[in-house]
Amino acid sequence: MATATINRPRDPNTLSNYNNWRTLHTSTTLEILFDQQKLQGIVSHDLQAITDGESDEIILDSSHVLVRSILAEGKPAKWETAKRLEPYGSALKIKLDRKPKLNERIDIQIELETTESCTALQWLTPAQTSNRKHPYMFSQCQAIHARSIFPCQDTPDVKATFDFSIKSPLPVIASGLGAKENPTSPSADGSSQLYKFHQRVPIPAYLFAIASGDIATASIGPRSTVATGPDELKDCTWELEESTEKFLQAGESLVYPYAWGEYNVLVLPPSFPYGGMENPVYTFATPTIISGDRENVDVIAHELSHSWSGNLVSNASWEHFWLNEGWTTYLERRIQSIVHGGDQWRDFSAIIGWQALADSIKNFGEEHEFTKLVIDLKGKDPDDAFSSIPYEKGFNFLYYIEKLIGKEEFDKFIPHYFETWRGKSLDSYDFKTTLLDFFKSDEKVSAELAKIDWDTWFYKPGFPPKPNFDTTLVDVAYRLADKWEEFTKEPNPDFGPNKLDIDGWTANQVVVFLERVMAFKTALPVPHAHQLGSVYNLKDTRNVEVSARYYQIAMASGDQSIKDFVVKLLGQVGRMKFVRPLYRGLMKLDYETAVETFEKNKDFYHPICRGMVAKDLLGSK
């Protein structure tokens, strides 16, 4: 008789028994019911036994899903949902009438509906969309929200191929390649039309994605399309058409050919809670990247980089999230260097990143568990750990290794790493072994690698060592900030702020300047904050990276007149990167207004953002 498996799964954030079963393929047949704001249909999983005659129960993650019925191998199955365990949901337990042998396949069909409490979907009424004509819906499954659309093995340690068969009266987009026959416009009479997609590359459940609404498309490159609202199409095309194919080719030159066929971008309504989400075939992106200056397309370089790091090679659990985001930030910045021609460009981005790292460490506190590279998430919600730390500490770790062994050597390792783990998931220890093994016959490189203090990098909280970044592109911004600092201490006859100070600057240079000002020992006096905003025209710019930072400076100086601008922006943008710090600033300036603003906008925000801001507001009361 087989003995019970005692090795525990390496992902603590799933309730599924994926050490007994592996999903090989998932089919989702769903109808989008806009009037009831729910998805309804059948999801089937083809599961394989990976233990021998050991388990007669398939346990799936499930959260706030209404299960109607379940068939196992075509016959009605016994099943139950366990008591809810926060934040992981209620495990769905499906009983089989036998214990299948190793490698046996079991087909499970689940008839289901999503509910009002679903955390993965946002539903917009026509009034909440830009042209106010049609409703809209979109999903966001990372990290552990796929389970609130359908029961599944919701862990990045399991990958399956997917079929999507989606009915909707409005155009549908999904994280697979679309069928040629898919309709391209809303149905004339509001009736449902069928859309089909296939994902032939195995993906974890968190990369399942769908969106539907009044969506139009245009070409932005030989293998790329942008999709967005009809009125936004022109601006989105302009913003993205120059760089998308260049980014793809740069990524391919660093790693290997792009694996997903098409690389497309869906620009969502403004309540999309992230900058971007790397859904395969279709990156989902915030409309704040459409800033009219092509200055925020680094988000696209980032999401595209996930096509290798994250989507082909995945972190085995969210405790090793740096393998997704640190590697992606590293590739994103290498792509920037290639496209702009020079390493000062990646260091420019790394300098902005270092500030984001410092802010995150400050928010958590230097000793906090979540400031480590490898974190403990047992019993925790990965959303609560989300910050710039895995991105920037992860980037800095790879940058450190690259500098240690030299770029030429590191560049040989990149394709090797992505080939070795292609289609698989790994943890930080696998990464270490892969790196050391690759160079083991090279004494010189091995001697360098022996200097890495792995435990410190993995487990020490707080800052990593700061590299000497190339400051070529930020020196002008630092100099201007120095002048402002002196000028606020005592009026300087040689310096009067003038709009020519920033003439010819890129928006990101202005960002660096503003971050320097934010870091002044004493906040700017109100009149100076005013002057800063008006001379450089920072209040009304379309580039939210700039305006949001300026608002922080004005709020910190105690400038009450900035409140109206902040409140306005908080009603227009739902990207958490901006929303959360702006609420933090507003809470300090005027707690009542912060609460009022949240009450007014909470239905505009995505459920994840809404929950986060609510927590932030309560936490500081």
The residues annotated with a catalytic role in the active site are 303, 391
β-partners of residue 277 are 284
Q: Which of 151, 275, 280, 326 binds ligand BES (CB under 6 A)?
A: 275
Q: Is the dihedral of CA 93, 279, 416, 396 positive or negative?
A: negative
Give dist(CA 70, CA 77) in Å, integer.
Answer: 6
Closer to ligand BES by Cβ: residue 29 or 175: 175
Give dist(CA 529, CA 270) in Å, integer.
Answer: 28
C-alpha distance from residue 167 to each of 108, 139, 172, 196 (Å): 21, 15, 8, 9
In Å, how far from its chain's centre is CA 277?
Answer: 4
Closest distance of CB 268 from ligand BES, Å: 12
**Residue 368 among known ligand-binding residues:** no
Binding map of Zn ion across residues 311-340, x = CB under 5 A, - = no contact = --------------x--x------------
Binding map of ligand BES across residues 574-603, x = CB under 6 A, - = no contact = ---x--------------------------
Closer to ligand BES by Cβ: residue 22 or 145: 145
Question: Any idea how long the chain is?
Answer: 621
Closest listed residue to residue 30, CA positions, set 204, 162, 183: 162
Give dist(CA 481, CA 490) in Å, integer.
Answer: 14
Closer to ligand BES by Cβ: residue 154 or 409: 154
**Residue 325 among known ligand-binding residues:** yes
**Token digits of residue 481:** 């900030």
Binding map of ligand BES across residues 218-257, x = CB under 6 A, - = no contact = ----------------------------------------
Q: Which of 100, 229, 276, 326 binds ligand BES (CB under 6 A)?
A: 276
Q: Which of 322, 386, 413, 431 binds ligand BES (CB under 6 A)?
A: 386
**Residue 128 among known ligand-binding residues:** no
Closer to ligand BES by Cβ: residue 391 or 417: 391
**Residue 134 among known ligand-binding residues:** no
Amino acid at 160: A
* Helical (H) or strand (E) element with 195: strand 193-203
**Residue 275 among known ligand-binding residues:** yes
DSSP-derived secondary structure letter, 309: B
Give dist(CA 239, CA 267) in Å, integer.
Answer: 11
User: 70: burial class by Cβ within 10 Å (0-12, 13-18, 19+)?
Assistant: buried
559, interface contact from Zn ion, ligand BES, none, CB < 5-8 Å by kind: none
Closer to Zn ion by Cβ: residue 323 or 587: 323
**Token digits of residue 319:** 């405790």
C-alpha distance from residue 54 to each of 18, 23, 71 (Å): 13, 17, 21
Closest distance of CB 145 from ligand BES, Å: 8
Number of residues that bind ligand BES (CB under 6 A): 16
**Residue 274 among known ligand-binding residues:** yes
386, interface contact from Zn ion, ligand BES, none, CB < 5-8 Å by kind: ligand BES
**Residue 152 among known ligand-binding residues:** no
Closer to Zn ion by Cβ: residue 310 or 533: 310
Among the residue ranges 102-110, 297-305, 405-413, 483-491, the one whose residues contact ligand BES (CB under 6 A): 297-305
**Residues 6 or more apart whose Cβ sits within 8 Å of residue 297:** 239, 240, 242, 243, 247, 289
Closest listed residue to residue 250, CA positions, set 357, 332, 166: 332
- Residues flagged as binding site: 140-142, 273-278, 302, 306, 325, 575-577
- Residues flagged as binding site for a peptide: 140-142, 273-278, 575-577
Chain residues binding ligand BES by CB under 6 A are 142-143, 274-278, 298-299, 302-303, 306, 325, 386, 391, 577
